[in-house]
Amino acid sequence: MTRMKKKSEDPSPLPMRICACGCENEFQPTRSDQFHLNSKHYDFAYNNGPRKEKYAEEIDTTKIIRKNDRILEKYFRLFNTPFVKLNLIIVKAEGFKDELFTRIIAIKKGENEYKYHALYKYCYRILKKGDVEYILIQKL
């Protein structure tokens, strides 16, 4: 006669978990990486849960740089010359932030070398004459 083994109530060594989708159902996971009751709950959590914003600070910085690029493009197309020289106050009134740029480039003109702050399609240089600041815009 075979001996009957007593069936334990909790055969899994993993503790009971609460479903991560927000339904508050308690379940016995079959794997250590199971956080949802089943695939329906996983899909619900994926589609209705909060989205994580990766690199939120970088996204905000990119938005500002693109806005700066669009502002410079507007004035560059308006004057239609190789260089555009404007009062910095005019450009800043549109939301231009001169402290953000992608890189610094050096442009050589004759014997002189000028440093420009580059964006995506345009670069600029800030000139100061007396109390007035000007911005010199050039296409890359």
Query: DSSP secondary structure string, 68-111?
Result: HHHHHHHHHHHH-SSEEEEEHHHHHHTT--TT--SEEEEEEETT
User: Is residue 2 one of the residues assigned to a domain?
Assistant: no
| 8 Å CB contact between 101 and 119 | yes
Would you give per-residue pLDDT tens digits along the chain (140 residues)? 566 665 556 566 888 999 998 898 999 998 889 999 999 999 998 888 777 667 767 788 889 999 999 999 999 999 888 889 999 999 999 999 988 889 999 888 888 888 999 999 999 999 999 899 999 999 98
Same domain (yes/no): 101, 73:
yes
Same domain (yes/no): 43, 76:
no
pLDDT at res. 1: 54
User: Is residue 131 one of the residues assigned to a domain?
Assistant: yes
pLDDT at res. 46: 86
pLDDT at res. 53: 67
User: Is residue 123 one of the residues assigned to a domain?
Assistant: yes
User: Is residue 5 one of the residues assigned to a domain?
Assistant: no
Same domain (yes/no): 27, 94:
no
Residue with tokens 């500002």: 64
Which pTM does this prediction carry? 0.59
Same domain (yes/no): 37, 81:
no
Same domain (yes/no): 42, 94:
no
Total number of domains in the chain = 2
Same domain (yes/no): 66, 118:
yes
pLDDT at res. 11: 65
CA pair distance 77, 87, nearest whole angstrom: 16
User: Is residue 8 one of the residues assigned to a domain?
Assistant: no
Domain that holds residue 39: 17-48
User: Is residue 111 one of the residues assigned to a domain?
Assistant: yes
| Three-state DSSP class for residue 61 | helix
> Would you give the distance in Å from CA 115 to the centre of its chain?
27
pLDDT at res. 48: 84
